[in-house]
Structure 1
Amino acid sequence: MMSDTDGDDPTARQRRVWDSGAAHYDRQMAFYERIWFGGDRQWLGERVRGRVLEIAPGTGRNLPYYPAGVTLTGVELSPAMLAIARRRAADLGLDADLREGDAEHLPLPDASFDTVACALALCSIPDPAAAIREMRRVLVPGGRLLLVDHVASTWPPIHAAQWLLERWTIRSAGEYFTRRQLPLVEAAGFEIVAVERIKAGSIERVHARRPADG
């Protein structure tokens, strides 16, 4: 059976998927954060510095964890998710520049951020390699890249379950569970600072750096 999203431009499909799910996203994520993603947003917030760009901030669930003193910009594909993020920023009293845009074609100048952060989004960005290259482009030399995502588990039974789940989620929502972003980060020319895998290897946290000379 064909999905009603089949045949669309992948980016347009993802925009529609996230727009349609925006109203329920926070409730769903609150559940997953209790059982699977606990501590990931705090990990990001503890490591950002200076001028921060968040890729795909969604409804702004990372916003409460950013420290005082950073300058925050967010680029989000979904207008519906972006509207919720802007309300959350206003409720928190944050002066954040949250704008609509595509992670694969960032509407931002070269070397304009000290930190780029992305949480739980590269799993569904249609071309994650292109998005990571864009992250490198907008980072200053020596700038830091912080990524958190679900990846292929190191435990074979969970990996097999992820592969089966993907047979549905890729078609219905463009979401992958067996991707791994670390090789793409390395291929883009980043220097790896630290990598941590938790939850049977199904969650990976990557801290990388754009080389100071490139």
Structure 2
Amino acid sequence: MDESPATVKARRVWDRTAPGYDRQIQFLERHWFTGGREWLGARAEGRILDVGVGTGRNLPHYPPAATVTGIDLSPGMLDHARRRAAALGRPADLREGDAENLAFGDARFDTVVCALVLCTVPDRRAALAEMWRVLVPGGRLLLLDHIGSTWPPVRAAQWLLERITVPTAGEHFTRRQRPLVEAAGFTIVEAVRLKAGSVERVHARKPVIT
């Protein structure tokens, strides 16, 4: 399948970022996304698909009995994820893949996790439609992302930051995922906004049609 220029650019950006990603994100996870990956792991179950697995920072938090598949655009990020999985003794199927075109059959997974990824995906609606498709009825969608703050001064700073990050890395700071999750047909189970409303955790389910 032909890739969009935005997808090709995103792979290039994340390949360049991969060697220093863990060092860069560690501070933000301690002070901004505090406890987010633990929150995701506590709700994930069964056959898990980690969309945008990156360097595998979610892997330590998944239940031992879960079966983990992870996809990422970046071969460089996946190299780090594979090393992390090996160090943890965590079996995981980690492969190249695009959130907008998931290479899996329908109703394949019990849980889809997407952490700090939809802020950079060019077509979020396509990605969420794919997540819906690969989830079993009743399956869980778990999201963690930075979003537009509820505090106007912070939101203004995010808007200014986007003048740099969107053209250079495709990264948005004023997006919000929840309305698109609901529009895709998911039912919200729980959602919380933190850090002046600039971080959101979403737990949603694909309804069971009877």
**TM class, shorter-chain normalised?**
over 0.9
Unpaired runs of 5+ residues, structure 2, are: none
Within the candidate set 134, 139, 143, 1:143 is matched to: 139
In the TM superposition, residue 38 of structure 1 has moved relative to its aligned partner by 1.1
Give 1:28-177 correspondences, 5 Å limit. 28-177=24-173
Task: Please list the CA deviations of residues 172-210 of structure 1 after superposition, one character each: whole Å capped at 9, or x if unmatched.
Answer: 100000000001101111111111000000000001000
- Aligned with 2:201 (options 189, 205, 208): 205
* Displacement of 1:128: 1.0
Q: Distance in 1 between matches of 2:205 and 2:33?
A: 24
Q: Which residue of 2 aligns with 1:5?
A: none
Counterpart Cα distance in 2 of 1:186 and 1:118: 16
Partner amino acid, structure 2, of 1:109: G
Whichever residue aligns with residue 209 of structure 2, its letter is D
Q: How far apart in 1 are the matches of 2:20 and 2:27?
A: 12
For residue 33 of structure 1, report the CA deviation from its aligned partner. Answer: 1.1
- What percent of counterpart residues are identical? 65
How many pairs are equivalent?
A: 207
Structure 1 length as normaliser, TM-score?
0.95
- Report the Cα distance in structure 2 between the residues aligned to 1:189 and 1:60, rounded to whole angstroms: 28
**DSSP 3-state at the match of 2:57:** coil
Normalised by the length of structure 2, the TM-score is 0.97
Question: Which segments of structure 1 move beyond 4 Å, counting only runs of 4 or more?
Answer: none
CA distance in 2, matches of 1:194, 1:95: 29
Query: Quick check: 1:178 aligned with 2:178?
Result: no
In the alignment, structure 1 segments of 5+ residues that lack a partner are 1-7
Residue deviations 1:145-166, cap 9 Å, x none?
A: 0000000000110000000000
